[in-house]
Every structure is written in structure tokens, then in C-alpha cells.
């Protein structure tokens, strides 16, 4: 599974910010069972966090998500 999100804002001169996530999902045959997703995450662009929108930021991380 994976996804790419590209956003841009007038406040930052329409410079695109890229967010990429991809990984695997583990689940049983029954759709009602719990699911575990392990993802690699990357972000490059201006901060998406309110008052810090003028600061460039980038990160690489790992995420574990539980679905019920």
C-alpha cells in the first residue's frame, strides 16, 4: 500500500510540499479483524503546522498503525 500527497499554498509561493507513505498491511481473512500497517514515511516541503508554515522541513520516519 502507499500514497503520495502534493500540496502547495499561495503563502509559500506555490512551492509544492511532498508527502510519501508506503508499506505493508497485515490482516486476517475476515475484514472485521484487526489490521496492522507498517509504513515508511517521508516529507519534504514547507511545514504543514500552522504558524510555522514559512519554515522548510523534511523528515523520514517509520509508522505502525492499528486498524480496528
- 2-40 pLDDT, tens digit per residue, is 999 999 989 889 999 999 999 999 988 887 888 999 999
Q: What is the pTM of this model?
A: 0.79
Q: Give the range of the structural domain holding residue 25, as residue numbers without chain letter.
A: 2-67
| Residues 7, 47: Cα–Cα separation, whole Å | 11
Q: Give the number of domains in the chain.
A: 1
Rg of the chain, C-alpha, whole Å: 16
CB 22 within 8 A of CB 42: no
Amino acid at each position: 500500500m502507499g500514497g503520495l500527497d502534493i500540496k502547495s499554498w499561495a503563502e509559500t509561493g506555490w512551492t509544492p510540499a511532498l508527502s510519501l507513505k508506503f508499506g505493508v498491511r497485515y490482516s486476517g481473512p475476515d475484514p472485521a479483524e484487526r489490521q496492522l500497517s507498517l509504513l515508511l514515511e517521508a516529507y519534504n516541503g514547507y511545514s504543514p503546522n500552522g504558524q510555522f508554515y514559512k519554515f522548510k522541513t523534511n523528515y523520514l520516519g517509520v509508522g505502525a498503525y492499528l486498524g480496528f
